[in-house]
């Protein structure tokens, strides 16, 4: 640790293969924290129809693991969150190319349905890639000599239920809560509840929405380290679950598996809020890759 570490010769090939595997595996194995949250929700559910839906979800999760099947047919928008250790000496252009190639290979070699089209012509390259897709977020962390890649295949049912508003400071935090609740209730069954509600507060309009999406990648039920924000997460979690929307919007005790908030400081005259919803499958998969090319898979 300490000085810069050059990556191994085959490092970019390892990144490519790993990104291919992350995409495929993320569609078949639901993260354990999500499974546990669904099991807990199923155990405390009191409505018959909701109990049946939970048992269907749990069966789909089991089939995904045991029979190597996709939990849901939607291959989503491929999104990567990449954290690069400050000690890693690497070629950023090669890293991006490796991630894109891995995405294309997942789609061709599995094969997966390519869900990505051009916005106007609706052309589909059948590669799950296109202009600015996959979406890759880069960040840097000090004192680390590895690259951490978190992948999420973002389903459209939940992505279509995304909301952003530039509130004014006079709206305060109550305006933020009202905006979240109005939109989550308005979304109803569309995002395939029970959902993980990601909320961004602060920043600029684009950062706020990115924070909302980033919030959905946290382990289900994790708390924001700021106790004031964690208290708002809990308040909104209880409020959303008191709506009775329930799994698939058919009524039930659990509408949200988790409510996560990420925040940034903002302009003196701004009060931005964004909501990005993850559906019940809340798929994600992570790989840590050392400079020598060693891969550790997780969630």
Distance separating alpha carbons of residues 95 and 46, to the nearest angstrom: 49
> Which H or E element spans position 41?
helix 32-44
Nearer to ligand SF4, 31 or 157 (CB): 157
Q: Closest CB to ligand SF4 among 187 and 287?
A: 187
The residues pairing with 141 across neighbouring beta strands, listed in sequence order, are 85
From 17-25, 209-217, 251-259, 274-282, span contacting ligand SF4 (CB under 6 A): 274-282
Distance in angstroms (rounded) separating the CA atoms of residues 27 and 34? 13
CB of 73 to ligand SF4, least distance (A): 7
**x/- string (CB under 6 A) for ligand SF4, residues 69-98?**
---x-x------------------------
In the bound state with ligand SF4, the residue whose beta carbon lies nearer, of 156 and 205, is 156
The Cα 115–Cα 82 span in angstroms is: 22
Positions of E strands within 126-246: 135-141, 146-154, 162-167, 195-201
Cβ proximity to ligand SF4, 74 vs 146, nearer residue = 74
279 binds ligand SF4 (CB under 6 A): yes
| Among residues 101, 281, 284, 288, the one that binds ligand SF4 under rule CB under 6 A | 281
Residue number of the CB closest to ligand SF4 reads 155
Applying CB under 6 A, among 30, 95, 99, 192 the residue interacting with ligand SF4 is: 192
Contact between 284 and ligand SF4 per CB under 6 A: no
Please provide the DSSP assignment of 45-77 as one string. ---HHHHHHHHHHHHHHHHHHHS---SSS---E
99, 191, 87, 196: which is closest to 138 by C-alpha? 99
Residues that bind ligand SF4 (CB under 6 A): 72, 74, 155-158, 191-192, 279-281
């Amino acid at each position: 640790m300490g000085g810069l570490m050059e990556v191994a010769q085959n490092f970019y090939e390892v990144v490519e293969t790993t990104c291919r595997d992350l995409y495929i595996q993320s569609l078949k194995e639901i993260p354990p924290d999500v499974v546990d949250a669904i099991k807990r929700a199923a155990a405390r559910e009191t409505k018959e129809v909701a109990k049946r839906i939970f048992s269907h979800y749990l069966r789909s999760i089991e089939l995904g693991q045991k029979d190597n099947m996709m939990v849901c047919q939607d291959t989503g928008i491929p999104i990567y969150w990449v954290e690069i250790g400050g000690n890693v000496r690497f070629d950023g252009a090669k890293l991006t190319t490796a991630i894109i190639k891995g995405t294309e290979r997942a789609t061709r070699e599995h094969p997966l349905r390519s869900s990505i089209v051009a916005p106007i012509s609706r052309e589909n390259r059948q590669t799950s890639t296109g202009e600015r897709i996959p979406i890759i977020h880069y960040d840097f962390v000090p004192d680390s000599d590895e690259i951490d890649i978190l992948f999420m295949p973002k389903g459209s049912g939940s992505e279509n239920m995304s909301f952003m508003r530039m509130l004014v400071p006079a709206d305060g935090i109550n305006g933020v809560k009202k905006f979240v609740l109005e939109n989550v209730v308005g979304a109803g069954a569309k995002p395939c509840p029970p959902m993980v509600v990601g909320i961004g507060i602060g920043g600029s309009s684009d950062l706020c929405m990115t924070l909302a999406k980033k919030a959905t990648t946290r382990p289900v039920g994790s708390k924001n380290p700021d106790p004031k924000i964690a208290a708002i997460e809990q308040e909104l979690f209880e409020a959303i679950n008191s709506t009775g929307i329930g799994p698939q919007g058919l009524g039930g005790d659990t509408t949200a598996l988790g409510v996560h908030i990420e925040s940034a400081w903002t302009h003196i005259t701004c009060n931005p809020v964004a909501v990005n919803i993850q559906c019940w499958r809340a798929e994600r998969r992570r790989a840590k890759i050392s400079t020598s090319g060693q891969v550790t898979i997780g969630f």
